[in-house]
């Protein structure tokens, strides 16, 4: 285990004991939101960092998962767990559809197509206000009746850790190798007999399913959802989080999500300026440290070992 891995593991352990050492509820709430973003940032990096497919639909997929989970509960009377699963399946299937439809597209063409899908979803949710309450927002029942912030915190921590572990398991399997091979040389990979079509579609589906899961949980935590959770602004935060943490690694991206959300709260006095500062940091990172803070640390620490 490298030094960086030890540090990150220690941070996770620290996160698990935080509620026991009397951290104020306000910060637990912030961390819970941070864990939601951790799931989004890491699932986004699963797609962008490993198979090299860009998507701007991650926030919209989280919203899709959230709305499906909430509406199956309200309209069909499903209990929380089945409706959460419905959200995951809906987001996963939508991702599979996008992935399959856009097989031919790369780079900016793919980016534009995913923006279009995301915006159509957001516009539909806003327009069908008889069902979704539109931009007034949809009231959501709590995940667990009468649960306090500590319970939610642990649920989100467990969800984020399990999600990232599942992603790592996927990436360390043969499938993960296929992903990276496709990223490096799609035609070459296909010529070696890898089913590029299948894995490219599946990578999209896996990434969006995790986003749908995060969105469903988030909806039942904040208990009010609006179409703005699907906006490009929100997508921008997810991108900045993944980039600052390091989008070439799902673990780094997840930490980027938590860290950025905590900093956003801690620097609240700066007002809107803090968002501008994060924009600058994201740009500088992309330009000079494309592997993010943790990717940069990793290479630094490696160099020291030698």
Residues that bind another protein (CB under 8 A): 48, 52, 54, 56, 101-102, 104-109, 111-113, 115-117, 119-120, 123-124, 126-127, 232-233, 236-237, 239-240, 243, 271-273, 275-276, 278-280, 282-283, 286-287, 290
| Strand, coil or helix: 139 | strand
Concatenated DSSP letters of 68-120: HHHHHHHHH---HHHHHHHHHHHHHHHHHHHHHHTTT--HHHHHHHHHHHHHH
By beta-carbon proximity to another protein, the closer residue of 141 and 183 is: 183
User: Which is nearer to another protein, 26 or 273 (by Cβ)?
Assistant: 273
- What tokens appear for 257 in the block? 């999500």
Beta carbon of residue 247, minimum distance to another protein (angstroms, whole number):
8
SS3 224: strand
CA 302 – CA 244 distance, rounded (Å): 20
Q: Evaluate whether 158 touches 36 at the Cβ level (below 8 Å).
A: no
Q: How far apart are CA 31 and CA 153, in angstroms?
A: 7
281/85 Cα distance (integer angstroms) = 36
Least separation in angstroms between residue 236's CB and another protein is 4
Toward another protein, which CB reaches closer, 54 or 66? 54
Question: Which residue, 9 or 283, is less far from another protein as judged by CB?
Answer: 283
Largest CA distance in the chain: 63
Shorter beta-carbon distance to another protein: residue 91 or 98: 98
Nearest approach, Cβ of residue 151 and another protein (Å):
34
């Amino acid at each position: 285990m490298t030094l960086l891995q030890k540090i990150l593991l220690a941070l996770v352990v620290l996160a698990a004991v935080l509620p026991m050492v009397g951290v104020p509820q306000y910060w637990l709430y912030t961390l819970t939101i941070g864990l939601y973003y951790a799931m989004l940032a890491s699932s986004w990096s699963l797609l962008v960092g490993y198979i090299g497919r860009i998507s701007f639909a991650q926030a919209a997929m989280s919203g899709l998962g959230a709305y499906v989970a909430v509406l199956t509960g309200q309209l069909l009377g499903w209990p929380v767990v089945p409706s959460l699963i419905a959200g995951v399946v809906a987001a996963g299937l939508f991702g599979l559809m996008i992935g399959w439809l856009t097989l031919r597209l790369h780079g900016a063409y793919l980016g534009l197509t995913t923006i279009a899908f995301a915006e159509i979803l957001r516009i539909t949710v806003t327009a069908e206000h008889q069902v979704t309450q539109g931009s007034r927002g949809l009231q959501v029942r709590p995940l667990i009746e009468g649960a306090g912030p500590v319970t939610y915190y642990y649920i989100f921590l467990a969800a984020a850790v399990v999600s990232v572990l599942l992603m790592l398991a996927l990436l360390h399997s043969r499938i993960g190798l296929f992903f990276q091979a496709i990223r490096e040389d799609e035609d070459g990979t296909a010529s070696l007999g890898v089913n590029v079509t299948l894995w490219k579609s599946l990578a999209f589906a896996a990434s969006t399913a995790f986003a749908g899961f995060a969105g469903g949980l988030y909806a039942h935590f904040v208990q009010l959802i609006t179409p703005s959770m699907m906006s490009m602004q929100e997508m921008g935060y997810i991108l900045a989080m993944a980039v600052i943490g390091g989008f070439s690694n799902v673990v780094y991206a997840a930490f980027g999500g938590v860290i950025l959300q905590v900093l956003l709260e801690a620097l609240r006095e700066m007002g809107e300026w803090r968002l501008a500062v994060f924009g600058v940091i994201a740009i500088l990172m992309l330009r000079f440290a494309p592997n993010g803070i943790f990717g940069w640390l990793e290479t630094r620490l490696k160099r020291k070992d030698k």
